[in-house]
Amino acid sequence: DQQVKQNSPSLSVQEGRISILNCDYTNSMFDYFLWYKKYPAEGPTFLISISSIKDKNEDGRFTVFLNKSAKHLSLHIVPSQPGDSAVYFCAASGDDGGSQGNLIFGKGTKLSVKP
Amino acid sequence: KAGVTQTPRYLIKTRGQQVTLSCSPISGHRSVSWYQQTPGQGLQFLFEYFSETQRNKGNFPGRFSGRQFSNSRSEMNVSTLELGDSALYLCASSRDISWGYTFGSGTRLTVV
């Protein structure tokens, strides 16, 4: 039973446009959410996080939105660049000190940004 | 600034053997987590160590174990290897979750 779901296995976007990656979760105990980018043969690279007390966090071209009532979060990349092409993972954690390191990952969305 | 270092990068073992993987976290990071990545299951949490204590454990059999040393370096051990243990094993360290967990490049284990 997947607690973190990324329902779109792939997404293709034109360079310069917005990329929107979506993630749904089922466990209302999750208090922290993170997005990672992964290239083949490398470990995931941390992009941005958001705690449940916020509904938006921004870092440069990356913005994460959290809708707790819908148990949904999204990552917006504006403008998209060809170098953003990678697999993006959504992850969730219960921030109770005992399980911060237990990140539950979605299966990932492969983003392709076309020049 | 040095990242998370995992050794070895690649490993081939025979079914029934045991293996030890090593992880050196970023200096100052006391939390170290281990994950298994396979094409079918994605990234799955194995366990987390903080200040030499196992703080959390995922749903893996007892053949998977780990430990953390006083310098925060961590090892994971898999005994009685099975073919299904073939995977990319990733280690991640963190100072605080708001800064995210920094992952190493992983150890690719192949069991034959």
To the nearest whole Å, the CA of B2 is away from the closest chain A CA by 15
- How far, in Å, CA of A87 to CA of B109, rounded? 21
Contact B7, B89 (CB under 8 A): no
**Which residue in A79, A80, A75 sits closest to A58, CA to CA?**
A75
Of B48, B49, B105, the CB nearest to A43: B105
Check residue B1 and give its pLDDT: 58
Residues in chain A: 115
| Model pLDDT, residue B27 | 93
What pLDDT does A64 receive? Answer: 98
Cβ of B45 under 8 Å from any chain A Cβ?
yes
What's residue A94's pLDDT? 72
User: Which residues does A contribute to its contact with B (CB < 8 Å)?
Assistant: 32, 34, 36, 41-47, 49, 51, 89, 91, 93, 95, 98-108
Q: Give tens-digit pLDDT for B5-52.
A: 999 999 999 999 999 999 999 999 989 999 999 988 889 999 999 889
Residues near B68 by Cβ (< 8 Å), separated by ≥ 6? B32, B49, B50, B51, B52, B53, B54, B74
**SS3 state at A83:** helix
pLDDT at A102: 82
Q: Which pLDDT tens digit goes with each residue over B91-104?
A: 999 887 777 889 99
> Which chain A residue lies closest to B54 (C-alpha atoms)?
A98
For residue range B52-101, list pLDDT tens digits in order: 999 888 889 999 999 999 999 999 999 999 999 999 999 999 887 777 88
What's the confidence (pLDDT) of residue A100? Answer: 64
For chain A, which ranges sit under pLDDT 50? none
Please name the residue of chain B whose CA is at the shortest distance from the CA of residue A49: B98
The Cα of B112 is separated from the nearest Cα of chain A by a number of Å equal to 20
Rg over alpha carbons for chain A, rounded to the nearest Å, is 14
- Min Cα–Cα distance to chain A from B80, Å: 25
Q: Which pLDDT value is given to residue A99?
A: 58
Q: Which residues of A77-109 are buried (b: 16+ CB within 10 A; e: fewer)?
A: beebeeebbbbbbbbbbbbeeebbbbbbbbbbb
A78-110 tens-digit pLDDT? 999 999 999 999 999 875 555 567 888 999 999
Chain B residues in contact with A45 (beta carbon < 8 A): 103
A91 CB neighbours in chain B (<8 A) are 43
Report the gap between the CA of A106 and the closest CA in chain B (Å): 8
Is B98 in the A-facing interface, judged by CB distances under 8 Å? yes
What CA–CA distances, in Å, run from B71 to A19, B24, B74?
Answer: 41, 9, 9
DSSP state of A11: E
